[in-house]
Structure 1
Amino acid sequence: MSTTLPISVVICAYTEQRWDDVHAAVASVRAQRHAPFEIIVVVDHNPALHARLKASLPDVTVVENREDRGLSGGKNTGVAVARGDVVAFLDDDAVAAPGWLEAFAGHYDDPKVAGVGGLTLPLWPGSTPSGALVDDPVPATTGTRPRWFPEEFDWTVGCTYRGLTPGPVRNVMGGNASFRRDMFPIAGGFSSGIGRSFHKRPLGCEETEFCIRLRQRSPGSELIYDDQAVIWHRVPSERARFAYFRERCYAEGLSKALVTQSVGSQDGLASERAHALRTLPRGVLAGVSDAVKGDRAGLGRAGAITVGLAWTAWGYAMGQYAARRRTRRSRRLVARAGPGDVRGREETT
């Protein structure tokens, strides 16, 4: 296992409301057994926060997002600044276990490994506050999970979901991920048209689209999920509510439609098909079985799985419909312009 692999850690921040969270995230990276080569905090179009973090974190590289607003632009900025052989990403409202980078580093002795992701566990409402995690990144309590909330849908709060097993995977989760830095020129950066930005809906999938694109352009590369690379991710109380759960599922469907437009439906939906056909039916049966045994919340979990799948599928259908409308509109504009006008436009762009 490599003990000297230089790993740059990128944390993207955007709001003063996560001030304690950001400092806890940075402290957890400083405490790694495999010391980071550098810590980079990218601030997303918030000059006041940039100035405050730069003053409070003098030993950290604090930079402003140089690209479009959102996670994709922030990550691309971090990669451009990074000097390590590997670039790791940690969410600004998460803390890493002391062995996080050590687990990542162990896989990069294999030249086929292009990226490694880890296990993300939820910090539910009532968990250890961020201020306490500055001194010790291991939470004393992880709070209370809503009894209706199915583990199969923990991805809706940015965490590892039931059904994901260690080993090779199609994509890793963006808030707990690492990639060889030399893969970015091959795959290209994160797409600014996908994922969290100034959009009101809680979109995602920028890391999914990036990972698929990486594998398509570098077919011999592997992406690995290692459940020993552990982080804890905070879940605010508003994201532990059913209304957010349903909205996040719908937004995921919209995001998946964007992903399939970029990389194709075969790769873009391969993992989702397996999850929907195998893991989710088992989850529904388990919920019903729990209810029969006296756990009434089991019916809530079974119902949430059913609603979550339906809302995700509905979001995907609406995303596909919107894409077809955009395509038809573009074709009509081209037809009205005529070949000469189109050729002239191409020559001037």
Structure 2
Amino acid sequence: MIAVSVIVPTLNRAALLAGCLESLARQDFPVESFEVLVVDNGSTDATAALSEQAMRESGIANFRSLLEPEPGLLSGRHRGALEAKGDLLVFVDDDILAEPGWLSALAGAFDDPRVHLAGGPSVGRFAVEPPPWFAHFQREDPWGSSCPALSLIHMGEERRLVEPHFVWGLNYAVRRRTLFDLGGFHPDCIPARLQHFQGDGETGLSLKIAEQGHLCVYEPKALVQHCIPASRLTLDAFRARFFYQGVCDSYTAIRRLGAVPTPPAAGELLSRSLAAHHGPGREELELAHIHQGYAEGYLFHNAAVSHSPALLDWVLRKDYFDYALPRLEAEA
């Protein structure tokens, strides 16, 4: 019987996917009790051949590869959830390496029926030494350390209850019933040309889990390494990441209000981004153009939704299990 479904959306990252699948094949979890679903989001590299090879050689007893051409991470996540056989759904990114005891630790967190969501640490596996300015984007808090721009988080060595927003999408375990009852994920990782369809990903689901009062667990043994290539450690890459975060936050604000709010001034948005990274000291001012990306993303999305009733309808959808992107007026 399948107890756990591990869902791995992927797009044109065959080399990284290979490492991810190898780590999943090394899990100490009973092989007959979990499945791995690779959801190929229309790759043009060697992903399809690699998935076929993995099915033959990995030793994973239950392995499926699915083709889902609709662009965006949402489609990969929801196609995987709709196809999954497990009662526990574990979503990972294709660029993680899971420790051998990772799946056992995550599944163990759900022995308590009150727990609906669980995650664990994500530590960086850097292809090159991070540049000196990278320290600006690392947070040290009483609960631990994080770098949201690269989805890195560590909250200590003890299992404990946490707020759901501390579980991030690269290492995200949720009860199947909970995911469907609460409407699933929101749009995420939309291609740049379709960025107006971007949403807040797993954040929306986590907010609903919190509203329901469901318990969420941080499990330190459910550790993954997040592979960070040199291309993600550039100023341009961080600016693009902050633009994306601005879009996400605009989407969240519109859904919260049920309408498009008057946008904050660009200076206010810049200050908001700076304050989230230790305040406006000398280093922050030198990196202000990265934080300006956040303001530009927020204002871009706010303006796009303001001018399109169809796009507003998309943002305010009850759920996205029909995840096909709509055709807007300008595209007709």
Cα pair distance change 1:155/1:304, threshold 3 Å:
farther
Alignment identity in percent? 23
| Alignment equivalent of 1:57, drawn from 55, 58, 62 | 55
CA drift at 1:189: 2.7
Quote the residue 1:198 is aligned against. Answer: 191
Quote the residue 1:148 is aligned against. Answer: 133
Secondary structure of 1:104 counterpart: helix
Structure 2 CA distance for aligned equivalents of residues 98 and 330 of structure 1: 44
CA drift at 1:327: 4.7
Q: Which has the larger radius of gyration?
A: 1
Q: Does structure 2 conserve the Cα–Cα contact (< 8 Å) formed by 1:257 and 1:319?
A: yes
Q: Tell me the TM-score normalised to structure 2 length.
A: 0.72
Q: Does structure 2 conserve the Cα–Cα contact (< 8 Å) formed by 1:65 and 1:77?
A: no
| Alignment equivalent of 1:323, drawn from 297, 305, 308 | 305
Quote the residue 1:175 is aligned against. Answer: 170
Secondary structure of 1:64 counterpart: strand
Quote the residue 1:338 is aligned against. Answer: none
Structure 1 CA distance for aligned equivalents of residues 72 and 310 of structure 2: 29
* 1:137-157, Cα deviation, whole Å (9 max, x unpaired): xxxxxxx22221121372222
Residue 22 (1) aligns with residue 17 (2): yes
RMSD of equivalent CA atoms: 3.6
Residue 114 (1) aligns with residue 116 (2): yes
Quote the residue 1:41 is aligned against. Answer: 38
| Alignment equivalent of 2:6, drawn from 6, 9, 15 | 9
Cα pair distance change 1:330/1:258, threshold 3 Å:
closer
Quote the residue 1:312 is aligned against. Answer: 294
Q: Does structure 2 conserve the Cα–Cα contact (< 8 Å) formed by 1:5 and 1:105?
A: no
Q: Does structure 1 conserve the Cα–Cα contact (< 8 Å) formed by 2:2 and 2:35?
A: no
Q: Tell me the TM-score normalised to structure 1 length.
A: 0.69
Quote the residue 1:84 is aligned against. Answer: 86
Q: Does structure 2 conserve the Cα–Cα contact (< 8 Å) formed by 1:245 and 1:308?
A: yes
Secondary structure of 1:34 counterpart: coil
Q: Does structure 1 conserve the Cα–Cα contact (< 8 Å) formed by 2:119 and 2:217?
A: yes
Q: Does structure 2 conserve the Cα–Cα contact (< 8 Å) formed by 1:115 and 1:180?
A: yes
Q: Does structure 1 conserve the Cα–Cα contact (< 8 Å) formed by 2:17 and 2:94?
A: yes
Secondary structure of 1:69 counterpart: coil
* 1:55-103, Cα deviation, whole Å (9 max, x unpaired): 4423452332447322111111111222222111121111011222222
Which is further off, 226-235 or 195-204?
Answer: 195-204
Q: Does structure 2 conserve the Cα–Cα contact (< 8 Å) formed by 1:174 and 1:207?
A: yes
Structure 2 CA distance for aligned equivalents of residues 55 and 27 of structure 1: 11
Structure 1 CA distance for aligned equivalents of residues 155 and 50 of structure 2: 39
Q: Which has the higher helix share?
A: 1
The one-letter code matched in structure 1 to 2:121 is L
CA drift at 1:201: 7.9
Q: How does 1:124-143 map to 2 (within 5 A)?
A: 124-126=126-128
Structure 2 CA distance for aligned equivalents of residues 55 and 103 of structure 1: 28
Structure 2 CA distance for aligned equivalents of residues 52 and 199 of structure 1: 26
Quote the residue 1:222 is aligned against. Answer: 215
Quote the residue 2:243 is aligned against. Answer: 250
CA drift at 1:252: 0.6
Q: Does structure 2 conserve the Cα–Cα contact (< 8 Å) formed by 1:45 and 1:64?
A: no
Structure 2, unmatched stretches of 5+, are 140-145, 259-268, 314-332
Secondary structure of 2:254 counterpart: helix
Cα pair distance change 1:116/1:55, threshold 3 Å:
same
Structure 2 CA distance for aligned equivalents of residues 86 and 8 of structure 1: 6
